Structure 1
Amino acid sequence: MIDQAHVEALYDCDVIDNHGEKIGSVKQVWLEDGTGAPLWAEVHTGLFGTRQSFVPIQEGQVAGGAITVPVSKQQVKDAPSARTSADHMSDEEQEALYRHYGMIPQAKTGEHDRLGGRRGGRGTGDAAEVTLSEEKLDVGTRNVEAGRVRLVKHTVTEQRNVTVPVTHEEARVVREPAKGKPGKAFADEQAEVTLHREEPVVQKHTEAVERVRLEKDAVTEQREVKGEVRKERAEVEREGERRDRR
């Protein structure tokens, strides 16, 4: 059971449902008029904690900085909203919450014992305080793969024209006076001379001409990031007076 002694410790506690799942965190505690017994916790839920839901805490258990309540997270999500005025919850709104959670409301015995809960504040005596929170942007960097680069070589065929000097032999007749004994006269005679020529011969060989490699350099550039942050503001509400915002 949760009583008045637990009120101060409930603020900012995690609220755990009956299946062990976190519902949200306590931002306000609502007390019963007259007795001051804790009735409801105003819990901030949702992805960014922007939704407010009311959770019954009379039968809750506080341990390890968290409060475990006997309802499910889905019940809290589907709970009716309550519009509070002058730090009080109307009987009709509170009865709607009792019906939603399948609870039996306490009997009404007059103005001081009515079920209209009032908001509990932190501190002792006449002092009350709340903690204001503010979101900050935490900006950092992480390494991600931007792409891959490969060094690939392939063969390209091209034509080369090279001029090569070649030599060939040609026959020519040389005449000079005969000396000595004459040869066989008036007989057919034949003489042969072999002629030679050079022809171009193409041969290829492979040699290294250059080395190519890939290197990577780190380049630092400036990037601007932006994001939305939320801030909490305190306001003092008094019956019959305008709100004093801070």
Structure 2
Amino acid sequence: MQTEIRHLLECHVVGSDGQPIGKVGQVYLNDRTGEPEWVTVRTGFFGMRQTFVPLANARRSGEEIRVPYDREMIKGAPNIDVNSRLSLKEEADLYRYYGMRPTDVPPQRAGEPRTRAPIAEPAAKPGARQAAGERAGDDRDIEMTRSEERLRIGKESRETGHVRLRKRVETQSVQERVPLSHEEVVIEREPIHDGEVSATYELTEEDRQMTLYEERPVVSKETRPVERIHVHKERVQHEETVEGEVRKERLEIDTDGTARGGGPRRPGER
């Protein structure tokens, strides 16, 4: 039961039209059955007013309690002090307002006076009693936390490609002009005139020879380095625009009657 009450206190009441009414303030139990029978929901200026809503025909889903009444009807419920026990008359007024008939109310409750029912003490008399809730009493100061989402942008590294350095052997034809030389026979004949020869020559046979040479191209190959290739990585910085959607909470203030003061407001706050 305590677990159920704690879960109820964490819920928000939603009306029949799907509009949020407010957060549950307190839970009231039926003294005879011990089951939750009423909850109070905070409405009005900064949620300072707490209005009773019956749990009969209500449906709870997660942290929401959907009741078959709209916001205006709940705000118009009888104004009853939430810091003490419900009397029979007050409970009857509430049932009458919400159009319900309390068929399970025992007849001996008629005329019972209204008494406080602290959480730690067991109920001594029948009637709906205050089970738990936010601190009753001084509601002059209230507060609410407004939250909003912000983008959290990080960075990750991923592969974008590979670089492979490979060496292969190619064959190509090369032409190059080479200057060559060779020896040729040149015959020069010089006539001898009379009177120029003083010696006596005899006829003889004689054989002499001369070797002729020429140059020919000789092809050989050698391997020598002609270029060194070095591949490395370097980090290049750039910027990109990242877009996303974020949500933020907006506070709405409902006032009952005439509210004075209000204090300073931030620019743009309504």
Q: TM-score, normalised by structure 2?
A: 0.44
Based on CA coordinates, which of the two structures has the bigger radius of gyration?
2
Higher relative contact order (CA 8 A, sep 6+): 2
